Every structure is written in C-alpha cells, then in structure tokens.
Structure 1
C-alpha cells in the first residue's frame, strides 16, 4: 500500500527547499546576472565596461535616496530602484574598484547633512514637506569629488552616460587641455569700430574656467602638446605647417570641433561694412574628413527666422538669423539631446562626401521652409526684407552641424617640406571623432546671452543654449573613446502604444480641421476685402446685404468648425478613457480570475490523480 505525504509536511518541505535555493543563489550565483529587458536597461555597454577595466584606484559611490520620505511616490521610487540596480551593475563589473554605499538621508540626520555637504539637490516633493534626495556623490583616492545633483527621470536615456562620465572624470582628474585656433576677437580687446575695450566672449570665459585653455591664431605653425580637444573657430589663412599639424592630430586620434562659416558676422572685415562674403577656409581638411561645405552658399529659413530691429526702427523677420528649436536638434546625441534653442546667423550647408567611408550623424538641421542664396548676395543685403522678397522656397531640410566618426585618410601623401611638425607621417586613423558646425556666429554673445551690470559686476543671462552646445561637445570629445561610445540607454517605462496611436490619429484630424478653418478664414477675409472695396467705391457707410451675409456665413462656419474641433478632442478623451477602463478591468479582475481558474483546474487534476493512485494501490 502506497503512502502519501500530508499537505502540511509538503508545505514545510517546499519552504525549506525555497530557503535553501535562496541561500545557494546568494552564496554561489550572486555575480550571475541576466538582463531580460528589451533595451538592456540593466546592463552596461562595452564603453562603460572599458572605463571600469581601466580603473587603477577604487572609486567610492554614495547613492542618496530618500526612501522613507518618498512613501507613496511610486514613479519616483521605481526610477530610484532602476538607478540603484544600474549602480549595483557598476559595482559588480568593477572588479572590486567600485564601492557602492546606499544612504537614506532622513530629515535632520547626519546623512542629510552629508548630502548637503556634497551639494546634492533637495527637491521639495515630499507629502509632509520633506526634501527628497535622489543623487550620487563620488570620490577617488585623492579625495576629488564629482556629483550628479539629482537623477532626472526625464533624462533616463542618458543615465548610463552620466554615471560613466562621472567615473571617468574621477579616474582622470586632470583638467582637459583645449586648444582654440581662431583670429576672431574672442579674448576681447579694443574694438576697431567703437574704439572701446570689449570683454572676452562669454563662451571663451566658460572654456577658460572649465578647462586648461590655450589660444593660438592662424600664424602658428604647430599645436600645443597633449591637446585633448582642438577647437577651430572660423579658420582663415592657416599656414601649411599648421594645417598639416591639424591633419596629423586627427590621424593620431585627436578630437576636433570646427566652426566654419560662409559669412562671419563677427569678423572685423564684416563689421567694417565689407560688401563681399567673409568665409572660412578649411576645404583641404574638410575634404579629407568626408565633409562637403560650400563657403559661397548661405541658408535662409522662413520658419525659423528671428525677429530683429530694422535700421528704420521697426521689427522684421530675418531669414538668415535663425533660431533652431528642439525639433531641429538630434535628441539621440548627448551633445544636443538636452538643448532647446540654438541661435545662429548666415549658416552654411554641410553634406557627406559621396565616396566617404565615415559615419555621418546630423546634429542640427534646418526646417523644410528654406532657400539657399549666394553668400555675396547675403552680405550685401542690409535690409532683411530684401531677403524675404527674394525668398524661393525649396522644401528641403539642410544639415547645419554633423558628427563624423570612423576611418579617415590623411589629406597629405607625405610630410610637407619646411613643416615644424615632429614625428613620422601618419596616413590613416580608425578612431576619428569630429564635430563640424556650419556657423561661427552662434558663439558671439549677441546671439545667446544678455549682459547686465549689477553693482559693478557683469551678470550674464543666457537666452539660448549656444554655450551649452560648446561645453557639451568639449566634454564629450574630451572623454575617452570608451566614454564617447557609451550608447543612449533604453527607457524603463513601457508606453501604451495603442493610446499613443489614438492620440496621434486624433491630433492629425485636429490639425486637418485647423487647416480647414484657416483656409476658410482667409477666403472669407478676401471676400470681405473685395466687398469693402466695392463699398468704398460706392461711398456707402453701411454694410450691404451681400457683406452682411458673408459675415454671417463666416461666423456660422467658425462656430461649426470649432464645434467639430471640440468633438474631435472629446472623442479622443473618450477613446482613451474607454481603453483605460478595459486595461483596469483586465489587470484588476480578468487576469486574477483567469489565474484562479487555472489553479482550480490544476488542483482538480492533482486530486483526481491522487485518487486514481490510491485506488490502484
């Protein structure tokens, strides 16, 4: 006769087996991790692993999160768990060189004082008025410090980049060496037009404060040694020795940011009223980098044109002075992802050379409402209305800035004679990383900062992100190749695709109705203008029956279309609400009921098998 194990004893045995497996997993398999998410949001890219493998000394990470003060803040707590899991992955991959400390800075505690001491941001988000901390502080063996003041959930896609950048900066604490090559008056000095002393450009002051900056002009013959990032701003008249030095710097794996311009508004010749274009000269190097840049062409953009004050005292839109918004900036590249506005002037066109074997990534593009004119014509047009009158829409978006990476060949077959560049000639590189911007005027203060005097101190207030573009690019280019290659991370949140599709569909219908309203408005206004002209000819002051009927028809059309717009928006909200109710029903009721049915069926099968085995015995 076969004996069966009682249910309580079975439960005890299963519980013991469970705890035994947990202990075995923690002791023997703690280093084994599997990322099953679609975008691998919990794993590290090869670039981050390379940075960790090069660590010589330990890095201490202090992750501050207000665990108790954030009760009920589900979204923030989920994101904090995501950050902590990624930091634990750094610790796991750090070969003992990453030491992670998890700290809950409770109000009025020593931990909160420590968070304030590091300079972390205390966000007033707590329901009881408590401050919420969600930041990272890090130190190295030399007591250097770096922080991420607050992990913004909206910047989730760059979470790994920010952490890897922090670790890289602590493992390489020396300031970046930036070499600036330009003849523009970026350092300030006496203005030839006004005779007054002008201060240094704001972007130059920022570079000087953040990095070890060296400035040379076009008469130089070599580059400073140990240059981490080379910046070329409106290069003109470079000596052959300096051009070759730049070429070899790139061939040796150096990183370059070049601002070329078909017409520099900030050059002294341009400011003194020259009627011809004042363009950059870098064709030899650009050609070897796989970049096509025509210094004789300027882009006009009717959609992005900025309003300026005319010589007559009025205000007019200047099609050559453009304001790029987030829609025209690459949201996937770390240098432009967080920027909202870039102001530029007399911008040129960039394109990839047909036979170039490089990776081409546009960073800034124009709108579709564009035209291209001669740089000389643009330079001679002092009135912005002249540009708008001659504007001929091309319906084409142009690349205004791009990143070039990959394999490049030298612009020189051999070392030129009489060059002062030492070392053997290098003919090829596979680690090129270059950013080219088809404008240099965006660096000038008048396009992105406003200066005011406060008790004798100059206060600089940015109204555009031009300076952020420069510092972001230098930070990115100045990192190791491993840091540059860190990919943008996938997002943890899973969007409701059906809801998004409904929203897009409704918004398309909404925009179509808006266009119909605008078209009818223009047609009716034209009809009114015609009737009013007839009224003026007849000398009558009262509205004629035809005019009154046109006005009444227009008002009725306006009311009808506005009602249709409200119906579209109402239907959108209704569809989303209905879908939400179905999702709630499935999650709250249907799924548990289905699970209960499955368990009931399995239980009946187990009991039936037990009875059959007992009867057979």
Structure 2
C-alpha cells in the first residue's frame, strides 16, 4: 500500500515538474530557436537580421492566406505554413519593430476588399474556380506600402530575400540614384556612318523609368556624391583622377557594376581601326582580378545563328547564354531564360585574397579563344569556325566580387583634389565581360504601330541589368542574402498515395467536369433568348429549367470540391498518424524505456548491495 502511494506521489510530482518546466520554457526560452534543417530554412540569415536591426520605425506586415478556401490543397497549405513560420521569425527577431497581422480573405468579406486594395493577386486554382490569396502587404509609419502579390512556391529559394527586400524598401524608401559613366551614345545621337539619329538604348531607357538615372561622360573627375549605384559602360582611357574617385567610391561602400569588353563591335566608328576594347586594369590589378581584354571567347555550343548572304550561319562570337550558363541561385540571374551578347571577354578569379568570387554567367565547355584584333578584322562568321580548336574549358563571363580589398592608389595622382585616401574597404561589385549585350540589336526588336515605335524583347538582357541595379541598390546586408534551400523533401510514400488517389478519383472528376460544361452551355443557351429590347424572355417552363440548371451547377461545383478533397484524404490521414507517433507515441516509448532502464539499474544496485 505504501509503495503504491509513493508511486502515485512520484507521478504527481513528475507532472508538476513537467508543467513548471513548460512555463519556464515559455517565459525564459520563448525566443530561443534551434533549426536542425539541412539548409537552415527556418532561420534568418545574418543579412536579414541586419536589415531588422536597422529599422527605425515599426513596419506592419499583413499576411493574406485563404485558409478556408484552400482546404484540400495540401502542397499549397504546406508552403503557406512555411511562409508564415518565416514571417514569425522576422517578428521574433525584430524586437517589436515588425507587427504581423494574419488575414484570411474569405469571399465577399472586408478582408478580401482589403487584399484587393493592396493589389494582391487572387490565383484561381482548380476547376471549382476558387480565388486563393497567398501574399504579403506591408506598411511603414509614413503609410508607404509595398506588396508581394503572390508567393510562388517555385521561387521558394528566394523567399527570405523577397521579404527582406520588402522590409528594407520600407525602412529606406528614397529613390535609388544611378550614375552611368560612358562615352557611348547610350542616350541616342547621330550615327556618323549613316547620318541618321539613333534612338537611346532601351536598356538605359528602361532603367530611367525605374530609377533616377544620370548619364555622364569620362571627362568628369569625380563620382557624384549622391550615387547609390555606379555603372561603368565600356570604360576607356579614364583619367587617374576619375579612377581614384571610382576606387574610393567602391572601397567606401559604394555599389559598382562594370561592363568591360575586349571588342565593343556595336560602335560603328570604334571598330574601324581594329579591336575596340575596354580598360580598368589599374582597379582590377588592385582587386586581384584578371580580365583578358586581348581575347574573345568563341563558343560552339551557345553561338547564335545569323543570316548572311550565303544563308544561315552560326556565329561563334555571338553568344546566346541559356539557363545552363546562368547561375540559378543568384537573385540577379534566377528566372532569366536567355542573354545574348557578342565578343565576350573572360575573368580569372582573384587568388591569395579574402575576396569572395561568385560567377553569374559562364560559357559552355566547347570554347576557344581568339585574339581580339583578328576577331575584329574577321568579316565572315564562317572563318571563325574554320580555325576553331575546342579547348574543353568553361570561362567566367560575369561575376560578383565582394569582400575586403586594397586601394589601387597609394598616393594622390596629379591634378586630383586633396583628400584622405582609404587604403582598403569592402567591395560590392558586379563585373560583366561584354558591353554589346546592352545594345538593342541583341535583345529587342522594333516594329512600327501607327507611327509609334514598339520595342519587343526576345531576350532577358534588360531584365539582367534591372535585376542587378535593384539588388545593388539595397544595403550590403540585403545584397548578402541570396538563395536559400527549400524545405520540401521527396516523400516517396506520399507520392505513391497521391498517384493512387488520382487514379481512383480522376474518372469521377472528369465526369463531373463534363456535366459542369454541359450545364453551363445549357445556361448560356437559355440566357441567350432575349427580345429585341435586350430583355431575357423565358416562359414558366424555361424559367424552372433555368433555376434547375443553376442549382445543378452549384451542386456540381460542390461535388468537384469534395473530389479534390478526397484526393488528399489519404495524405492527411498519414500526416495525422505521423503527428500522433511524433507527439504521443514516441514520448511514451521514451518514458517507458527510461523507466525500464531505471528499474534495471535499481535491481543491479540491489544485487551489488546484497552481494
């Protein structure tokens, strides 16, 4: 009796200890997180934490998800939970600066009106035609608003970047100032060969529609102080004073994108004397980067077909870089399909430094190098292939460069203004080994529509430039956030259940869909019976038939939703069993195992004592 009583008291004490520990955990360890996933997908990167740390005013996040309307959509609901968990991490790490609101925009509700007012995208999923919201709206203390119209599960690797970018834009809403330094006629001008006026480059015009863009020539000696992003397009013979200003701008935290080229063949005058190459050797040498301005990369695999007098010929110097040559894990190149350019040069990564090197564009391995002077004087594309020798090597055509670098100047050059020199600093640079890709002929076509010139893109060159400026226009913390892993993993049991369920219910779904189509056709025929005045004219029998068809349509749509729900029923049942096993069965088994071990240890101790 006494032994049974002591066991009961021990159980009660154990239960009390459990509740006390839970309360202490909630009070003292509520903000502690342990992310054991492979790519830390439920944790914030240091860049996101820095963006939150720099918040001066609260930011309200409104997470819109159609919870009730999405029942049965297992994969979408799982992704919505993933987004919600990450938003909770932002709220938890912000120290109260992020206020999270969760909204279910049910049909015909005020919440749905609010989602529409923010401009969120209502996706119509499934044959039942339900509108599903899965988006984010944000507002700062000054009533500035930013939105993510719909969270695309296909872009999950950039989920954290998109959310952090939205928060950063609300914390620093000023316009991005872009300075372009070039001697090329990017804003249009008279063509010296034809005498005609060439229009502005569409890539630059597109930037001007999005940002505050200033185009300057190489005759300046200073980078404007208010520059957020600096673009160098085909730099040639820059003065030491200008190179010093660019050097100090980059080391002082400025964002730089440089387009260099072994041969800019889009300049009608520049190619008349042979190769028309760029030069930033003084800065590249200081950074440890090598750019081969003397050779053009020929690529047999990505060469574009061009039309000549003798027919269609592959031009190995005109490259069409597809997805295999674009880095899918970087926000600048992810989602792009094709980049066209000409006479690319290649970069060699820095060695012996702490600089980080991240290739964005690469060639295929079916490549060869040709001297830029020989290339510039070659007029027939067939001659490029006649002497082609495959080097079986892939070359880096564009890359990111970041980290600490030294200045290219140890003293002030003659003629520069007195200033204190930065000996080193943190770089954030994107280098591109071609300038022709910015010109219209490689990515947009022109057509005349009632006297107005219409530009239609056939490649993503403009998107590449815009993505890069948008990325560089953010803070260093935001730039450091790139693609993350995905939380989903192949689940063979679930996949097998899905296939089995689809086979079982597909015929029923198709039959219901056919009935729905027939009903809608009959409704259209009845509603088409109108008088000369436009009014709907139906007799009593037709009116009854119309009401029956409307009721039948509602019933069929309901049945379709039920079928769709049945498709995921076995998966949800499996999930319930897994939750039961993880939450209840496993802890019970662990307690029983610990109890058995304790009993064995007491028994062993008793044997030793009596022995």
TM superposition score normalised by structure 2 = 0.78
Hey, what's the Cα distance between the residues in 2 that align with 1:586 and 1:130?
Answer: 25
- Cα displacement string for residues 337-362 of structure 1 (whole angstroms, at most 9, x for unaligned residues): 22221111000111124444422221
Partner of 1:407: 404
Deviation at 1:33, TM superposition (A): 3.0
Alignment of 1:198-277 (within 5 A): 198-270=198-270, 274=272, 276-277=274-275
Q: Would the aligned equivalents of 1:126 and 1:132 in 2 still touch at CA under 8 Å?
A: no
Deviation at 1:22, TM superposition (A): 6.2
Correspondence for 1:448 among 443, 452, 458: 443
* 2:351 is aligned with 1:339: no
Q: Would the aligned equivalents of 1:251 and 1:428 in 2 still touch at CA under 8 Å?
A: yes
Query: Secondary structure in 2 aligned to 1:123?
Result: strand
Correspondence for 1:282 among 266, 276, 280: 280
The 1:354/1:489 distance shift into structure 2, 3 A limit, reads: closer
Deviation at 1:69, TM superposition (A): 1.3
Hey, what's the Cα distance between the residues in 2 that align with 1:241 and 1:275?
Answer: 28
Correspondence for 2:423 among 421, 427, 434: 427
Deviation at 1:2, TM superposition (A): 3.0
Q: Would the aligned equivalents of 2:329 and 2:482 in 1 still touch at CA under 8 Å?
A: no
The 1:346/1:499 distance shift into structure 2, 3 A limit, reads: farther
Alignment of 1:489-568 (within 5 A): 489-495=484-490
Hey, what's the Cα distance between the residues in 2 that align with 1:26 and 1:353?
Answer: 49
Q: Would the aligned equivalents of 2:176 and 2:212 in 1 still touch at CA under 8 Å?
A: yes
Hey, what's the Cα distance between the residues in 2 that align with 1:488 and 1:106?
Answer: 33
Partner of 1:543: none
Query: Secondary structure in 2 aligned to 1:382?
Result: coil
Hey, what's the Cα distance between the residues in 1 that align with 2:166 and 2:435?
Answer: 30
Q: Would the aligned equivalents of 1:136 and 1:150 in 2 still touch at CA under 8 Å?
A: yes
Q: Would the aligned equivalents of 1:289 and 1:404 in 2 still touch at CA under 8 Å?
A: no
Partner of 1:293: 291
The 1:80/1:456 distance shift into structure 2, 3 A limit, reads: farther
The 1:425/1:9 distance shift into structure 2, 3 A limit, reads: closer
The 1:66/1:315 distance shift into structure 2, 3 A limit, reads: same
TM superposition score normalised by structure 1 = 0.77
Deviation at 1:263, TM superposition (A): 0.6
Deviation at 1:23, TM superposition (A): 6.4
The 1:132/1:291 distance shift into structure 2, 3 A limit, reads: same
Q: Would the aligned equivalents of 1:45 and 1:487 in 2 still touch at CA under 8 Å?
A: no
Correspondence for 2:361 among 364, 383, 399: 364
Query: Secondary structure in 1 aligned to 2:86?
Result: helix
Alignment of 1:552-591 (within 5 A): none
Q: Would the aligned equivalents of 2:400 and 2:429 in 1 still touch at CA under 8 Å?
A: yes
The 1:266/1:92 distance shift into structure 2, 3 A limit, reads: same
The 1:16/1:108 distance shift into structure 2, 3 A limit, reads: farther
Query: Secondary structure in 1 aligned to 2:283?
Result: helix
* 2:385 is aligned with 1:385: no
The 1:146/1:458 distance shift into structure 2, 3 A limit, reads: farther
Query: Secondary structure in 2 aligned to 1:112?
Result: helix
* 2:320 is aligned with 1:323: yes
After TM superposition, the structure 1 stretch with the greater mean CA deviation from structure 2, 382-391 or 26-35, is 26-35
Partner of 1:473: 468
Q: Would the aligned equivalents of 1:256 and 1:435 in 2 still touch at CA under 8 Å?
A: yes
RMSD over aligned Cα atoms = 3.5
* 2:457 is aligned with 1:459: no
Hey, what's the Cα distance between the residues in 1 that align with 2:104 and 2:14?
Answer: 36
- Cα displacement string for residues 392-414 of structure 1 (whole angstroms, at most 9, x for unaligned residues): 11111111111111121111111
Q: Would the aligned equivalents of 2:321 and 2:338 in 1 still touch at CA under 8 Å?
A: yes
The 1:459/1:132 distance shift into structure 2, 3 A limit, reads: farther
The 1:413/1:497 distance shift into structure 2, 3 A limit, reads: farther
Hey, what's the Cα distance between the residues in 1 that align with 2:381 and 2:373?
Answer: 15
Query: Secondary structure in 1 aligned to 2:192?
Result: coil
Partner of 2:51: 51
The 1:409/1:18 distance shift into structure 2, 3 A limit, reads: closer
Query: Secondary structure in 2 aligned to 1:337?
Result: coil
* 2:438 is aligned with 1:439: no
After TM superposition, the structure 1 stretch with the greater mean CA deviation from structure 2, 298-307 or 461-470, is 461-470
- Cα displacement string for residues 370-394 of structure 1 (whole angstroms, at most 9, x for unaligned residues): 0101111111111111111111111
Deviation at 1:290, TM superposition (A): 1.6
The 1:92/1:294 distance shift into structure 2, 3 A limit, reads: same
- Cα displacement string for residues 434-460 of structure 1 (whole angstroms, at most 9, x for unaligned residues): 111110011111111223333444433
Q: Would the aligned equivalents of 2:331 and 2:482 in 1 still touch at CA under 8 Å?
A: no
Deviation at 1:64, TM superposition (A): 0.9
Correspondence for 1:482 among 477, 482, 486: 477
The 1:192/1:601 distance shift into structure 2, 3 A limit, reads: closer
Deviation at 1:488, TM superposition (A): 2.6
Partner of 1:102: 102
- Cα displacement string for residues 186-213 of structure 1 (whole angstroms, at most 9, x for unaligned residues): 1112222333322211111121121111
- Cα displacement string for residues 280-335 of structure 1 (whole angstroms, at most 9, x for unaligned residues): 122111211221112110010000001111134x2111100011111112222221
